[in-house]
Structure 1
């Protein structure tokens, strides 16, 4: 355990030492904030104003802000988990694995060091983004999440972080250079916003595309995180239950269906657990092959 802790600490220091790398790991979240600040936010406000003409403007803005930051929170769990593994790619490209193998460090300890550091970086940076979002809501005159909602959100964030850290650890084993890793990070950072339904609500897309997106763990993770983060705002806007509330949930990805199948919270949690188990196993196997 001590060796794993040392390796994890080393990976954390290397990641946070690269300020540019830390910034670019949050680039997708920053782009999403800019898009909504410039024009997408107004589009959603106008859309909800048409649907709920009697709703207070403050409630509409509250819901849109909460929904946007929920999407940003989900995106951060993936982009930072992937960015954290730049240390692995650098170690492989520079030949440091040879140095590790002649030292009294076992392969399993190296693997756990990479996986654990990826999870911790994802979790810590996402919590920071989550806190920033709550402070922003407070500055806009909207209440923050309750203690139970915050605890539920943190649980979903932790689950998403560990699942996407495992997924990322598997994907990076196929990369040999820092350039390839940078290209992958750019693609993931661009695409993930669409797959999570964060750039535009899934309700604006054709049914076939919506079903495909909702079948992926990214949209399901976003659904889980949105549920507690938007609960109060949704209740103020459309009520806790009823057709209006159900329509808003489906349109904004707070609930999800694949055809006639309803993606429940329990199912989404099971999917993320499965992602962790499967890709942690595959990733560990691939990492062990690459460390030589």
Structure 2
């Protein structure tokens, strides 16, 4: 365990030492926040004001802000964990693997060092984003989450970070250069907001597209995170009316359906656990083949 800890610490130091890399790992989240601050947020506020004329403007703004920051939080769990694996790609392209192979470090320890550091980076950066989001909501006059909601949200963040770190580690094993990794990070950072339904509510998209998106773990992770994040704001704008809650939850991806099948919280958690286990195994297998 000491060796794994040392390797993990080494990978963390390399990642956080690269300030530009840390910044660009948050670029997708910053882009989403900028888009909503400039114009997309106003569109959602106007849409909800028309649908819920009895709701106050402050409560509607609270819900939109909470929904946006939930999407930003989900995006961060993926993009930052992926960015941290740039250390692995650099090690491979620079030939450092040859040094590792002749050292007393075992292959499985090296593999765990990359996986654990990716998970830790994802959790740390996502917690920073969560803190910023909560401070922003408080400054706007919104109510903070309850302790129970916060604990549940932290659990979802940890699960999403672990699952996407495993997925990213598997994908990173196919990359042989820093340029390829940078290109992949750009593509992922651009697409993940759409795939998670963070840029545009899923209810505004065609049914076929929605079914494909909702079957992916990204939307299901976003669903889990949106639940505690937006629960109080949703009750405030609907007055607790069940039909209004159901309609808004479906439109904004707080509840998810694939066709007529509802993806429950338990199913979403199971999917993310499956992603974690399957891609941890595949990533470890691929990494062991690459470390020579």
Is 1:171 aligned to residue 176 of structure 2? no
SS at match of 1:174: coil
Q: Distance in 1 between matches of 2:43 and 2:97?
A: 51
Once the two structures are superposed, the pairs formed by residues 217-236 of structure 1 within 5 Å of their partners are 217-236=217-236
Who is 1:191 aligned against?
Answer: 191
Equivalent in the alignment of 2:262: 262
Are 2:96 and 1:93 equivalent residues in the alignment?
no
Q: TM-score, normalised by structure 2?
A: 0.99
| Whole-angstrom CA distance in 2 between matches of 1:240 and 1:99 | 61
- Deviations along 1:2-46, one digit per CA (max 9) or x if unpaired, are 000000000000000000000000000000010000000000000
User: Alignment length, in residue pairs?
Assistant: 292
Question: Structure 2: how far apart are the matches of 1:240 and 1:90?
Answer: 52
Alpha-carbon deviation of 1:242? 1.1
In structure 2, the partner of 1:147 is 147
Q: Which residue of structure 2 aligns with residue 137 of structure 1?
A: 137
Distance in structure 1 (CA, Å) of the matches to 2:60 and 2:123: 29
- The alignment partner of 2:33 has SS state of helix
Q: Which residue of 2 aligns with 1:286?
A: 286
Q: Deviations over 1:224-259 (max 9, x none)?
A: 000000000000011335111100000000000000
Comparing 241-250 and 92-101, the one that deviates more: 241-250
- What secondary structure, in the 3-state scheme, does the structure 2 residue paired with 1:262 have? strand
Task: Please give the secondary structure, in 2, of the residue aligned with 1:46.
Answer: helix
Q: Distance in 2 between matches of 1:147 and 1:242?
A: 24
1:102 partnered with 2:97: no
Cα deviations across residues 56-94 of structure 1 (Å, max 9, x unaligned)?
A: 000000000000000000000000010010000000000
Q: TM-score normalized by structure 1? A: 0.99
Moved beyond 6 Å, runs of 4+? none
Counterpart mapping for 1:67-86 below 5 A: 67-86=67-86
Name the structure 2 match of 1:251.
Answer: 251
- The two structures, once aligned, show a CA RMSD in angstroms of 0.5
Give the Cα–Cα distance (whole angstroms) in 2 for the partners of residues 283 and 225 of structure 1.
26
Aligned equivalents of 2:100 and 2:54: distance in 1?
65
1:204 paired with 2:208, answer no
Quote the residue 2:272 is aligned against: 272
